[in-house]
Amino acid sequence: MHELSITQHILDIVTKHAQRANAERVIAINLVVGELTGFVDDSIQFYFDMLSPNTLAAGARLSIRRVPARVRCSDCGKEFGPQGCRWLCPRCHTIGGAVVSGREFLVESIEVE
């Protein structure tokens, strides 16, 4: 359900920038979503379809690029992709580390007319 408020926020950002550009309408919205955000693409699309009519983004194509989770081992510095809930360094077997990517959530670009 948290996708509803996030999608409204996306729509607010897109509408604001489209208005600044004096756009007649938004053709496409390109999002970047990290794997660790927990956001579900289909839910974002569902809420976008529900919220966007009667806005500049009505009928716009929503494109979502996923960014995989990457972690840097705090002991040996190796970067790796965690396997589910298992954040074990494949080199030195240390548990956890610093998240390098996978938390992203942003409007990368919009296409307007």
What CA–CA distance (Å, rounded) separates 14 from 6?
12
**Mind listing the pLDDT tens digit of every residue in the chain (113 residues)?**
589 999 999 999 999 999 999 999 999 999 999 999 999 999 999 999 999 999 999 999 999 999 999 999 999 999 999 987 889 999 999 999 999 999 999 999 999 99
Gap between the Cα atoms of 66 and 6, Å rounded: 16
- Ordered domains of the chain (ranges, CATH): 2-68+102-112 (3.30.2320.50)
State the Cα–Cα distance between residues 48 and 72, nearest whole angstrom.
34
